[in-house]
Structure 1
Amino acid sequence: MERTLQKAVVLGSGVMGAAIAAHLANAGLSVTMLDRKIGGQRLAQTALEQLPRQKPSPLYSKRVLERIRAGSFEEDLTAVGEADWVIEAIVEQLEAKQELLAEVEKHWKTGTIVSSNTSGISIAAMSRQTGESFRRYFMGTHFFNPPRYMKLVELIPTEETDPEAVAAVKRFCESRLGKRVVLAKDTPNFIANRIGTYGLLVTMHEMAKHGLSVSAVDALTGPVLGRPKSATFRTLDMVGLDTFVHVANNVHRQASDPEEKAAFEVPAVMKEMLQNGQIGEKAGRGFYQVVRTGGEKVIEQWDAASGSYIARDKARFPSLEAARNAKTLKEKLRVLTEAGDPGGRFVWTVMKKVLLYSAYKLPEIADDPLAVDEAMKWGFNWELGPFETWDALGVERTAKRMKDEGDTLPSWIEDMLAAGRTSFYEKKEGRTFYFLPVGQAKELYRRPEFLSLRSLKERQGAVLMSNAGASLIDLGDDVACLEFHSPNNAVGPDILQMLFRSLEEVRSHYRGLVIANEGRHFCVGANLMLLLMEAQDDNWLEIDRMIRQFQEASMAIKYFEKPIVSAPFGMTLGGGVELAIPAAVVQASAETYMGLVETGVGLIPAGGGTKELLMRFTRNVDYDGKVDLQPFVNRAFETIGMAKVSTSAQEAKELGYLRTTDRISLNRDSQLYDAKRMVIALSDAGYSPPERESCRVVGEPGRAVLQMALYQMRGGGHITEHDELIGRKLAHVLTGGQRPANAVVSEQALLDLEREAFLSLCGEPKSQARMQHMLLKGKPLRN
């Protein structure tokens, strides 16, 4: 079933309904969002008006709102008849959902997909009273909150759902919505919430048993286990205790096994907190609360024994310190679970129970270990799923330890071990297999667009050359990839050196180059620590050499004779922008936060960024040399001077960092493949680099305009004296230096102006203070 989904109707405008509507609109769909009318108030209209004010924003750009229309159930339910996809997202009550679906069916046209965003109510029960044809196109689509940012969608078909409809929704969610999809069984809370809720309840039980505090548990269950920094209780405060209790009660109510029913009994401390309104961040207090002491914010933790908030304690366990010092996650897990101190024993007990529970739930909640692992990684941001964790710990010895402690293994794991298979995943000849509960090996299927540098580098000969900051990797099909892997992917001499070496290799042996990596962020900028050290040592010749090399790199990328495609994502700041935007095409991830932020550390962009933004803004309008360029120079001055950072790739286009010809990958996992495919397409089309260009500037009269704006801002107290100095340096570059209006300057002349301004600012004590403050505090200093 090849479907083109263009129109969607979202039923419900609460937290999830409005956010799903926003993300469908992000993906380009026309969306109608419906909800009840209460008196004269349309709930959907109110929700629509609140979307731009939410943080983090569910919208790629405010312009996305133009694709969403608000209406009511009472007046606009006929919109269902024009939709390609209808998503129900009302209150989590079976009867209410059944009643609404009955009304939807009256307007539904055969073949239109209808799904429910329930987090755990039975899909079959929900649609039981609808017609057979309707049920064929009905399924669950459980988006994780917030839908724009969370990767997972659990897709839950019933026994009656058309497999082709399921496949169509899966393809659409992955390709258009940027999601990763896991097929789940129609069981309470499906996969991720089932395992995650169980794990948190076990954590609560073992926490009391081992006498640990809230902050100690968070220290033991966060990054050291490959989990998010929010760990256990900070996550629970963000989710909301009321939401968590509702999810836990859903399994407790429906569980038939007495042992499982007992495991999902909400602890008394949680019930008391719920009664007291201590439900988390939305109430201002949960397992943590923030209080002000002496003008400073202090975070306190809930102490159930005393029934009060107390100061957080520092978790001090030898096992925790040893695990933090371990190099790999596998080593961290083994160190922590094999330790005999209270922290290690707590972690082992919790982990053991989660591993066993996950194994016992197959095949009830999912068909295979892979679905469970992917659900936990994409829905809860775990680095390793339960079965991958088991492999990391060693299945054989972990199973023996469990049995020695009196635990019983599921029979399918006993059978697997008896057959000589000692891991759930196994690699053979470059392919990965996993084992099903019934014992057959099944190859892991990876769509080609989910290209992975990590997997490629395991192949012999894939890494063509490497140094401490970057590597050149063969992507196949005569395309190479320059991968950054310095700390925080900050650009230093090693990355620039590898760039120039890579260009020589690509020139001789490849069709083109992709610039990409799989770090947390694409690039946070230049190596600020190195720059500050050189400035404090008055090593101006070295700084000049560094800037010249950076400028040469950006120009080499721009004018290289073969296609170069950059693939930025996440934080792409300062020097990261300057290495990304000169590429023939930028294949950005939808979640790309791009900005030239150098003014925040007392400098201006000098790796080609100031020059490139000026030329882009003026090139698009200066066809005949007669257009007044001042408004466009003003725009570049404001964008750089205010260190504007996009909140998405779409907004990066609106800010001018990306061109209309640049592309956006909604699915981060497909970005590398998309970039590689773009290199091949450009090569096949006979790519030739752009011609060298010059730029008309507004000169000294234009600079006077910018300086007057700075003078007024300084007089109004909006900027500091040093801000004004930085602004004057930036204005000098953007207006062409000591040149008359309408003078034509070369790119190199603008680069020289950049470099001169940058060097002079490096010598300013207040700029050095800003650099030092950023390195120490991670935020700008206003001085």
Structure 2
Amino acid sequence: MSAVQIDRAAVIGAGVMGAAIAGHLAGAGIRCLLLDVVPHQLLPDEERKGLTISHSAVRNRLAEQGKQRLVRMNPAPLYDARFIHRIETGNVEDDWERLSEMDWIIEAVVERLDVKQQLLSRLEQVWKPGTIVSSNTSGVSIQEMSKSCSPSFRQHFMGTHFFNPPRYMKLLEIIPGDMTDSSLVQDMKQFCEKRLGKGVVIAKDTPNFIANRIGTYGLMMTVQEMVSHGYTIEEVDAVTGPALGRPKSATFRTLDLVGLDTFLHVAGNVRDRALDESERRAFDIPELLQKMVDQGWLGEKSGSGFYQKVKGASGSVIKTLDLQTMQYRERQHPVSSSLQAAKQAKGTASKIKALLGGSDKYSKLAWDVLKHVLVYAAEKLGEIADRIEDIDQSMKWGFNWELGPFEIWDAIGVEPSVRRMEQEGLKVPDWVKERLEAGTAAFYRELEGALQVAEGKGYRPLDTPPEWIHLPRLKRSGGVILGNSGASLLDIGDDVACLEFHSPNNAIGADILSMIQQSVDIVEKDYAGLVIANQGRNFCVGANIMLLLMEAQDEEWDEVDRIIRYFQDTMTKLKYCKRPVVAAPHRMTLGGGVEVCLPSDRTVFAAETYFGLVETGVGLIPAGGGCKEMLRRMSDLAGLEQDLTPQLQSLFETIAMAKVSSSGFDAANLGYARPTDRVVMQQERQIYEAKQSVLELNRAGYSQPYPAMIRVTGENGAALLKAAVQTMLRGGYISEHDALIASKLAAVLSGGAVGENTMVSEQHILDLEREAFLSLCGEPKTQQRMQHMLSKGKPLRN
């Protein structure tokens, strides 16, 4: 438990980054004061309103503009737009004294040492002893900016480098100064991990810290390889993207997003401050990049960079810069045996090995880039960070690499790669070779289910909090109770079992449904309760629509009916389990994935959960109990007297428009989350927190749910919804097929051919779901939508 308690924070500087940090703090439930400088002149709109330069709306304008940007930006910096009210705006003149009321003050002004020094000097005049102060700098020295401050102030001062955008980029580098209280650093690490959901690493006070130091070096090496060997931009990006375990933006799309001017500033920081002459030369600005900046080709923000988006008659076209002519041309798509082998390989380690194992020029490019990065990371251990895992995690959390440098080294084999590096004249750090000689070459190893990491010539346990339950390691250490190709039931301790999906994309098929049925039987007999969770990229993208499409195309209607009945029966069995069931969804949780969560006693959402019944996007309606569960919640909430119509209209709109929550918090706005459900900021803790919910329900004297009658609006409600559908159709907002799907959904959600306020059984709604689903499966346009989703990965409007 962190000793730090932060309820109020201030951010000084309301630019893009400062405002986004305030937004993230607000999302974590922290009240935030956002300050910026006072404008020196009125805007035309302010003049028209008759405002003066002394009016508070004018004086707070810059901070207020930063705050309002948070609501308009896409992707949204806020988990929920309502959280904007947790941010108060002000200015650094009128509200400066209020900084003494804060628990944490974050400086996010321009990246200039003199400006930051002046701000800290002024801040110390109102600073309350004990208040934490930090700088969101990407590379300015923490020691230098605070060297004129008092020892007491410096003990409470550190760097907190948030990566942009703070909500979506997990990495937070904490950089202690030479006098920062070490216990405070650890307390802040724990606080930022648990409360803010960040992945925190402790960095040394060196140029660009960890992630930007290695990432910038890697980009420099890549540009140098491209220029010296004549590779095209597309060739480099084909190699340095997913084939190498990195994002699709690869090298040059990333540079365009960052901005070439920003990148050169970051690179220049190392070149100017690094102690080693050879390292400074590695950060010399390539002539190509300098020429592009001089011409204003800065990337996305200027409209042109390595890529250029051009509007054409049939839509936008992406063109690529030809480095020979310095003109933009049509994009090319490199093809080679090594790239194809990497694409076909399963898992990041296998992809990298397949790419490096080829004999074409793309294999050579991958190796020539990678070998320098691996050696550089090894050289910087001890200088930029003390721990191997901090370097690896920095690159994964800050640059979205699938594997960190030392994990990659393990994947390709330390001994053969070092041998090849030395044959090619590369100097490998002595400590790496000493580990080879000691027979402990690998940087990580697993021992009795626990991960260990290299230290000296041996290993030490990886510092992992006990609350971080890691399912793959648990499985390898014998924690599997039962399993099949689609799912496994695991023992996660304290008499709680966890049902883990592991089918392709975690799509629900017969194997997962069978495992749910068996899991309920086992848990009722031998366990205190069940958690439904996994640690895949997404929780569940829905049901296996390929199987449904094949059966529908073959007109095997009895088989389609059997599949849907089996799904419904399985969800019913899950709902009426005699032990508590807690679902823990994360990221994409769609369609059938939602229907697995809805029967649970509680749902523990990850903050980044995109949750919604999206079946209409493939021409269907929810038929695994999703409509029934949402109707039951609506009926329970309304009681016996309240008019159901407004809630029905809202529910109909949510499902018919396939609305998906923008976060775990937003799920409540769509009616998917109950007051008893909760959101966990730190995803690593999610399964642990779900387990605690199971135990809490048991301690409170859990009793098995019972089937309930559901009050429905009947034919009157259906008529109201269908009239709205026809209005949309006549207005050209939806297609004929959209109207057909919506009309069938309306009939289900209104309870069918019954009177208003009729009480119907859960099975009645399930039968309506299944009948509507079956009829839609037979529609050619629905089958077209399903086929399009399978082949293109996005909805078809027909």
State yes or no: 1:149 paired with 2:164: no
Question: Are 1:8 and 2:9 an aligned pair?
Answer: yes
The RMSD of aligned alpha carbons is 1.4
Alignment of 1:289-688 (within 5 A): 289-436=308-455, 438-439=456-457, 441-460=459-478, 462-622=479-639, 625-688=640-703
Instruction: Please give the alpha-carbon distance, in whole angstroms, between the structure 1 residues aligned to 2:740 and 2:443.
Output: 61
Equivalent residues of 1:618, 1:632 under 8 A apart: no
Sequence identity, in percent?
A: 54
Q: Which moved more, 1:333-342 or 1:30-39?
A: 333-342
- Matches of 2:356 and 2:718 in 1, distance apart? 64
CA distance in 2, matches of 1:529, 1:334: 31
SS at structure 2 position matched to 1:476: coil
Q: Distance in 2 between matches of 1:417 and 1:109?
A: 52
Cα offset for 1:13? 0.7
Residue 166 of structure 1 corresponds to 185
Q: SS at the partner of 2:718?
A: helix
1:89 is the counterpart of 2:108: yes
Code of the aligned partner of 1:277: G
Name the CA distance, whole Å, in 2 between partners of 1:657 and 1:568: 12
**Counterparts of 1:503 and 1:62, CA distance in 2:** 38
Could you tell me whether the CA contact under 8 Å between 1:156 and 1:185 is conserved in 2?
A: yes
**Please, which of 717, 725, 736 is the counterpart of residue 702 of structure 1?**
717
**Structure 1 length-normalised TM:** 0.97
Conserved in 2, the CA contact under 8 Å of 1:569 and 1:588? yes
Aligned to 2:93, the other structure's residue is in SS state helix
Amino acid in structure 1 at the alignment position of 2:593: G
Q: Which range is displaced more, 586-595 or 322-331?
A: 322-331
Q: 1:732 aligns with which of 738, 747, 769?
A: 747
Structure 1 position 278 matched with structure 2 position 323: no
The separation in 2 between residues aligned to 1:667 and 1:466, in whole angstroms, is: 28
1:241–1:280 contact (8 Å) kept in structure 2:
yes
Q: Aligned equivalents of 2:547 and 2:400: distance in 1?
A: 33
The aligned length equals 779
What amino acid is the match of 1:430?
G
User: How many angstroms does 1:465 deviate by?
Assistant: 2.0
Residue 75 in structure 1 maps to residue 75 in structure 2: no
Q: Give the residue type in structure 2 aligned to 1:120.
A: G
Could you tell me how far 1:200 is from its partner in structure 2?
0.4
Matches within 5 A, 1:56-135: 56-135=75-154
Q: Which deviates more, 469-478 or 65-74?
A: 469-478
Q: Read off the aligned partner of 1:25 and give its amino acid letter.
A: A
Note the C-alpha offset of 1:440. Answer: 5.3
1:137 equivalent among 156, 172, 189: 156
CA separation in 2, counterparts of 1:766 and 1:45? Answer: 48
Q: Which amino acid aligns with 2:571?
A: S
Question: Structure 2 residue aligned with 1:768, among 773, 779, 783?
Answer: 783
TM-score using structure 2 length? 0.96
Deviation string, structure 1 residues 697-741 (Cα, Å, up to 9, x no partner):
111222221122122222222222222221211111111111111
Unpaired runs of 5+ in structure 1?
none
User: Secondary structure at the residue paired with 1:107?
Assistant: coil
SS in 2 for 1:655: coil
The more displaced of 388-397 and 52-61 is 388-397
Task: After TM superposition, give the deviation of residue 340 of structure 1 in Å.
Answer: 3.2
Quote how far apart the aligned CAs of 1:418 are: 2.5
> What SS does the aligned partner of 2:111 have?
coil
The question of whether the paired residues in 2 share the 8 Å contact of 1:29 and 1:67 is answered with yes
Alignment match, 1:27? 28
State how 1:203-214 maps to structure 2 within 5 Å: 203-214=222-233
Corresponding residue SS for 2:9: strand
Matches of 1:288 and 1:196, distance apart in 2? 20
Contact 1:9 1:79 in 2 (8 A): no
Q: Deviations over 1:284-328 (max 9, x none)?
A: 221111223441432211122111112222222322222323334
Q: Is 2:348–2:403's contact at 8 Å kept on the other side of the alignment?
A: no
- The answer to whether the aligner puts 1:216 opposite 2:216 as a matched pair is no
Does structure 2 conserve the Cα–Cα contact (< 8 Å) formed by 1:210 and 1:342? no
> After alignment, is 265-274 or 333-342 more displaced?
333-342
8 Å CA contact 1:698–1:742 kept in 2: the answer is yes
Shift of 1:446: 0.7
Q: Distance in 2 between matches of 1:419 and 1:700?
A: 79
In structure 2, relative to structure 1, the CA distance for the partners of 1:520 and 1:426 (3 Å cut) is: closer
Taking the TM superposition and a 5 Å limit, the aligned residue runs for 1:174-189 are 174-189=193-208
Q: How far apart, CA to CA, are the structure 2 residues paired with 1:724 and 1:338?
A: 53
Secondary structure, counterpart of 2:696 in structure 1: helix
Give the distance between the partners of 2:357 and 2:772, measured in 1 at CA.
57
